[in-house]
Chain A
Amino acid sequence: DAGVIQSPRHEVTEMGQEVTLRCKPISGHNSLFWYRQTMMRGLELLIYFNNNVPIDDSGMPEDRFSAKMPNASFSTLKIQPSEPRDSAVYFCASREQGARGNEQFFGPGTRLTVL
Chain B
Amino acid sequence: DQQVKQNSPSLSVQEGRISILNCDYTNSMFDYFLWYKKYPAEGPTFLISISSIKDKNEDGRFTVFLNKSAKHLSLHIVPSQPGDSAVYFCAASGAGGGADGLTFGKGTHLIIQP
Binding site for B on A (CB under 8 A): 4, 30-31, 33, 35, 42-45, 48, 50, 55-56, 59, 91, 93, 95, 97, 100-109
Contact = CB atoms under 8 A, between A and B. Distances in A.
7 contacts: A31-B99, A33-B101, A42-B107, A55-B100, A91-B44, A103-B46, A108-B41
Contacts of B100: 48, 55-56, 102
A55 B104 contact: no
Contact of A104 (B46, B103, B105): B46
Give the interface residue-count category, chain B.
20 to 34
Contact of B32 (A30, A101, A105): A101
Contacts, number: 66
A61 to B, nearest CB: 15
A102 B41 contact: no
Nearest to B44: A106
